Amino acid sequence: MELNFVSVDGNSKNYKIAIGILAGITLLGLICFGISYFKGHYLFGSSNVIPWGMPIVLAIYFIGLSAGSLILSTLVYVFGQEKYKPIGRMAVLLAIVLIFGAMISIAVDLGRPENFWRLFMFFYWNNMTSMFAINGILYGGYFVISIAYMGIILSGSKVWMKRWGILAIGWASLVHMGTGAIFGFMAAREAWFSPIKPLEFLTAAITSGVALLIVVLVLTMKFTGRDLRKDMVTSLSRLLTIFICVLALLIFLDKMTHLYAPERAAVLYSLTGKYSWIFWCLQIGLVIIVPLAILFNKKLKSIKWILVASLSVVVGVFFERFFLVIPQAAFPQQYYPGHIEGVYGAIGSFALTPVEMGMSLGIATTLGLLFMLGLKFMKALPEKTAEELAAAASKAAPPKTEEAVKTDIPAGTDGTPPVENKPS
């Protein structure tokens, strides 16, 4: 099977409007970051009880999506699942954009973001017993590896694709397990402290990665007027089902180990307390119950329903991260036996402040912007087939026809001739 990849043309009105809106919100996020940098973090919702807020939620969410989609791209380039090939490049592009987003999320959450470079002074100014410093190696390496991976894929060397893909898949798993370890190794935070956290993070990463890939695949194909092959989406949805089941098992085990041990107050609070609805409705509901109900239902096999299930997972995994970082940290620590009176024994509060929300929104739109620019300047989309082109030409108005034809010509550097290839 031969398949050519193209970039989007980026001259259509919709593309320009989308870029404009995303850039505007990104600018807003940048302004919010500036305010928080000069005024201090009291503008955020975080406090001495709940030290981390929305940017960290976003960071671990993006890392999860990134690792998940990179692992998926290796299905094509390492495990030779040729049917996924049309989305291989897009998955790698997403992985790069998302890890970049995760790193900027972490950077803007630092109190002293100008000292961000200190995280990358490995073994010299870094304390290597810190999970953060170890993750600095993992994230930095991951960024470099995925960019090199993209280069190799673009250059088309099959052998190196496979070799580098194996490195990438291993590294991506490490990245996500390391992220889980940031939380799972904290003995002082009862609700986080769990050896299963790294595995749970990895599974959640792959689950959300598959789901995001389905969403991006369907939407991109739709908006750029390409034909979607249903068998591909269906087999991806089967993968999604498996990972959701594994994730459900891991979450169950994690909660059970905490509930079985006598020291269960913090986890009990998170499961039955004021914010437990986030766990039951948004995490368990959206990540496990809704998608499984759709995916196991034989009547709901259309692409639209699979898209709904995937969206539900993508949104739900976000709330899983949210629940982990914010409500689970809110339970006060037992400094001394007995009931601690006053503010030191109270459940921590977290306010969703406008500055923090604006900044988080800005980070998310930055990623959208980078992804759209990536589609324009990188040949990540599968080429249109002759039939699709003919359909587009007959359907569209004269200016659109011109665009559709232009899209077909690869403007890149890999020297592939501008020929139309039929997909297998």
Partner 1 sequence: MERWGMVIDLDKCTGCQECTIACKEENNVPHGSPEEQRRRQDPFWHKVIAASEGEYPTANIEMVPMPCMHCDNPACVQVCPCKATYRRNDGIVMQNFRRCIGCKYCMVACPYGARAYNYKEQEDVEYQRIDPPLRRDLIGCWPFPHRAHGMVEKCTFCFHRIEQALMEGKQIGTEVIPACVEACPAHARTFGDLDDPDSEVSKLLSNRTSIRLREAMGTKPKVYYLTK
- Where on the chain is the footprint of partner 1 (CB under 8 A)? 37, 39-42, 46-49, 51-52, 106, 109-113, 115-116, 118-119, 121, 125-127, 129-133, 136, 182, 186-189, 329, 333-345, 348-349, 351
Q: Which is nearer to partner 1, 342 or 398 (CB)?
A: 342
Rank residues 22 and 133 by Cβ distance to partner 1 and give the closer one: 133
The DSSP 8-state label assigned to residue 283 in this structure reads I
Supply φ then ψ for residue 60, to 5 degrees.
-70, -30
| Per-residue tokens: 139 | 């994230």
Nearest approach, Cβ of residue 171 and partner 1 (Å): 20
Rounded to the nearest whole angstrom, what is the least distance from the CB of residue 174 to partner 1 in the complex? 17
Q: Is 289 exposed, middle or buried (0-12, 13-18, 19+ CB in 10 A)?
A: middle
Q: To the nearest whole angstrom, how small is the minimum distance from the Cβ of residue 109 to partner 1? A: 8
Written as six digits, the tokens of 13 are 């009105």
3-state secondary structure 357-383: HHHHHHHHHHHHHHHHHHHHHCCCEEC
Q: Shortest gap between Cβ of 6 and partner 1 (angstroms)?
A: 42
Instruction: Give CA separation, 131 vs 128, 143, 177, 186, in Å.
Output: 8, 18, 11, 10
Closer CB to partner 1, 1 or 188, in the complex: 188
Question: Smallest distance from the beta carbon of 178 to partner 1, in angstroms?
Answer: 12
Q: Which is nearer to partner 1, 135 or 312 (CB)?
A: 135
Residue type, 6: V
Between 273 and 348, CB nearer to partner 1 = 348
Residue 379: CB minimum distance to partner 1, A? 38
- Cα 417 to Cα 224, 376, 421: the distances in Å are 22, 19, 11
Helix axes 131-155, 158-184, angle to 10 degrees: 160
Cβ closest to partner 1, residue 190 vs residue 383: 190
- 370: which residues sit within 8 A by CB, 6+ positions away? 97, 100, 101
Residue 388 belongs to what H/E stretch?
helix 386-395
CB of 359 to partner 1, least distance (A): 14
Q: CA distances (Å), 363 to each of 27, 67, 182, 236, 371, in order?
A: 10, 18, 22, 28, 13
| Residue with smaller CB distance to partner 1, 4 or 270 | 270
Query: Which CB sits closer to partner 1, 187 or 397?
Result: 187
- Smallest gap from residue 101 Cβ to partner 1 (A): 18
| Helices 197-223/85-109 angle, 10° precision | 120
